[in-house]
Amino acid sequence: MSTTGSTRPTHVSAARRRTVIDALRRGAVPESGLDLLATGLDRFEAALDAELEAVASGASVFKAVRGEYGSGKTFFTRWLGERAKRRNFAVAEIQVSENETPLHRLETVYRRLTERLTTSSFPPSALRPVVDAWFYALEEDALAAGATEEELPGEVEELLVARLAEVSRHAPSFATALRGYRAALAAGDEATAAAVLAWLGGQPHVAASARRAAGVRGDLDHFGALGFLQGLLTVLRDSGHAGLFVVLDEVETLQRVRSDARDKALNALRQLIDEVHSGRFPGLYLVITGTPAFYDGQQGVQRLAPLAQRLATDFTTDPRFDNPRAVQIRLPGFNQESLVGLGVTIRDLYAAGAAAPERIGAVVDDAYVADLARAVGGALGGKVGVAPRLFLKKLVGDVLDRVDQFDDFDPRQHYRLTVASRELTDVERNLASGTSSADDVDLEL
């Protein structure tokens, strides 16, 4: 990411600043406030904002993001998710993993989606507030159409059937569960209502008594998950949300699973893409992230020719001319200049909330930020592209915090960079030891 074209706000609240700084101190990507750090993403803004507007108007979009480890894929998707949330989208970020969230089991992916569902007003899981807002909207629509208090339950039932008519063709139990949830609330049975809503969110092992009360059976399966996703999109739209922004992060982990599970997962991904492009999911913006090895290697996308065709994008030209409207976009990652620029941005953000901002700027000047960036990159085998996480963690926790708290602390005299193995990720540890990532090696499992 380049350091040019920043559009960071000039005034930042103390709470937003603290959220960002605290996350960087832990070596994590902040959950919010990413617009404060987004430098060089302006070249994507126009195209991505246009896609978000199209989704809000009833379209659906699939996007694949590629980048090496440390290039900022998680940062990018959370930044885009913040932009979506400001447009009143619901947002969900899902970490794909072999054990917790296998991609070939879409019922598990749907369950993680509802667990991680968030809106501008509610943290995860926002499923219940969304469903409650939907029933409230149905009641308001019925009253606006002239229904009396006595007629209201029947009119709401008719609206429910009409709004979910298309969904019921594929997943009739979705509407049935919603009726069961509303009936349990009306009867004052909170335990049954909560259990039915959990079943609606894809949770397994819901009490049989609750399922019987709602008129549903069994657990959600792979094929029913797509119908439930369709139903969730309808509920979100009718409850006032512009759409749903979903991220499937770290899809490259598919390269490390058994070949049969990998083939199923790749086919499930192809199925998802086809469903999105077919128009089945109006209001859905679906993003996946992965490394170049996943998109180009024989143990990733290239293993399934139809999927490779759908994601094919020309990256042989100068990255400056990459098309942000393409189905696949690449993040070029950091170089020394952009890493220093990001460090200066964080230094200034930190100083704005410090007791003595002038001292922060004088002691941790641009030259020192550049020196620290070079030192961290050197500790990781010269791989500047994967250095941002560790660099920002050291800058905030080891340098800026000490300068802020100790008047006589000078990092040039009192601080020497140390990088312990325990504070590195697996990728960073491999680079520090001079080896490359195992993901760069194709193995037939």
Query: pLDDT (tens digit, 9 = 90+) per residue, 273-323?
Result: 999 999 999 999 999 999 999 999 999 999 999 999 999 999 998 988 999
Contact, 52 vs 84, CB < 8 A? Answer: yes
Contact, 36 vs 350, CB < 8 A? Answer: no
The reported pTM is 0.86
Query: pLDDT (tens digit, 9 = 90+) per residue, 194-240?
Result: 999 999 999 999 999 999 999 999 999 988 999 999 999 999 999 99
Instruction: Retrieve residue 34's tokens.
Output: 């990413």
Query: pLDDT (tens digit, 9 = 90+) per residue, 95-123?
Result: 999 889 999 999 999 999 999 999 999 99
How buried is 414 (Cβ within 10 angstroms: 0-12 exposed, 13-18 middle, 19+ buried)? exposed
**Using CA atoms, how far apart are residues 292 and 67, in angstroms rounded to an integer?**
6
Contact, 5 vs 40, CB < 8 A? Answer: yes
